Amino acid sequence: MLTCQHTVYHVKLWGQRGTLHVYASQDWPLICGALSGQRTWWERAGEEAEGSIQGYHAVLARVEKLLRQRGTLTRSELRASGLGLNEAYFSAWGGIFAALVQRGYACHVDQEGNEGHFAHRRFWLPDLEWNPPVYDDANIEMTRRYLRTYGPASVQYLMYWRGAKSNDARRWLDTLKAETVEVDVSSQTLLALRADLDWLHEKPPARSDWPIKLLYRFDPLLLGIKDKSWIVNPQHYKRVFRTAGHIEGVLIEHGQAVATWRYDRKNGGLVITVLPFGKLTRRAQTDVEKNAQGVAAFFGLPLADLILRRETA
């Protein structure tokens, strides 16, 4: 059930920084290993609720057993199960389910209405080989992948992306010394993978060959580096990065955000609203329509309307 020819399955988990991510299912053990050394807020809250860490672990074991028996659970079903849990365990921000996900017992599945729905790993991916690496080994591999995806980067970049402490991030990078090299980027010394040097020195494609894309809310491209000025002009920062940690979907042209966008389901179709920061190029307007058709197809709906309008202050 993992990979069948060209099909790749994915899982939705609370990952780095405790935020939701979609991962390739074969990477689930890696993510679990990378998070295994972190004591979360939920664990501390559970220990306080039960009076001891042993009491909290006992509660966790009972909930894991129930989830394994039923296959899937919602918070409402857990509340009605008769386990008599402390109300803190049902928080929509995670609660007991955050602990189950961190330990590799559970993943997010389809919602039931507005309620989160969780499945046990053995129910959801029974054929998945479960071999989580130890904490440091897992994070060294994640650091390697981070450099390949977002590099050149600094230890501060890695700390931000991973939600890691300075000592941990430096230790993981130090382990990769033989694989990395220092490079100068705008008078800043950063680290890149030695294997990527040829690729980094390639001439960028012509401006007309850069893709124009609609990226949805919280896209990983916007979350790799703390300094967002390389992709979002500072004067538009608050249009993309909203209060309470919300990040809007963006339209990307030549590597820069030129608009935000949203979608709504209406009358059996999808309505997409694009809010440009300024006048869009003719090519951007043409490609937005192609992108919008693709978004509607993803939802299995017709594109009912595409609205281009400036956002009012």
Inform me whether the pLDDT recorded for 310 exceeds 80: no
Q: Can you give the pLDDT at residue 1?
A: 31
Residue written as token pair 């382990």:
175
Torsion of CA 154, 156, 160, 162, to 10 degrees: 60
Tell me: pLDDT of 270 over 60.
yes
| pLDDT at position 44 | 84
Considering the chain, tell me which residue range(s) the CATH 1.10.10.10 domain(s) occupy. Answer: 135-200
Predicted pLDDT of residue 6 = 40
Tell me the whole-structure pTM to 2 decimals: 0.87
Region 151-164: what's the mean pLDDT? 94
User: Is residue 195 predicted with pLDDT exceeding 70?
Assistant: yes
CB 213 within 8 A of CB 181: no
From 2-6, 13-17, 37-41, 177-181, the region with the lowest mean pLDDT: 2-6
* Confidence label for 313 from pLDDT (cuts 50, 70 and 90): low
Angle at 71 between CA 69 and CA 76, to 5 degrees: 95
Read off the pLDDT of each residue in 197-201 and give the average, rounded to a whole number.
91
What's the Cα-to-Cα distance from 146 to each of 16, 51, 161, rounded to whole Å?
Answer: 12, 39, 8
pLDDT at residue 2 greater than cutoff 60: no
The separation between the first and the last C-alpha atoms of the chain, rounded to the nearest angstrom, is 49
More confident residue, 227 or 137: 137
Class of residue 95 by CB neighbours under 10 A (exposed 0-12, middle 13-18, buried 19+) = buried
| Overall average pLDDT of the 100-125 stretch | 90
As a dihedral over the C-alpha atoms of residue 303, residue 247, residue 75, residue 119, rounded to 10 degrees, the angle is 70
pLDDT band at 4 (very low <50, low <70, confident <90, very high): very low
23 DSSP β-pair partners: 11
Beta-bridge partner residues of 153 = 191
Largest Cα separation within the chain, whole Å, is: 64
Q: What is the pLDDT of residue 182?
A: 96
Residue 4 or 244, more confident: 244
What are the tens digits of pLDDT across the range 204-231?
A: 888 888 999 999 999 989 988 888 998 9
The pLDDT assigned to 311 comes to 63
Least confident residue range of 131-140, 153-162, 198-207, 298-307? 198-207
Question: For 102-123, what is the mean pLDDT?
Answer: 89
Q: Would you tell me which CATH number, out of the four given (3.40.50.2300, 3.30.460.10, 3.40.50.720, 1.10.10.10), belongs to the domain 135-200? A: 1.10.10.10
Q: Mean pLDDT across the stretch 222-241?
A: 92
Residue-level pLDDT at 278: 92
Rounded to an integer, the average pLDDT of 253-279 is 94
Q: What percent of the chain has pLDDT over 70?
A: 96
pLDDT at 3: 34
Counting every residue, how long is the chain?
Answer: 313
Does residue 26 come out as left (phi exceeding 0), alpha (psi in the -120 to 50 range) or beta?
alpha
Q: How confident is the model at residue 62 (pLDDT cuts 50, 70, 90)?
A: very high
The 3-state DSSP class for residue 90 equals helix
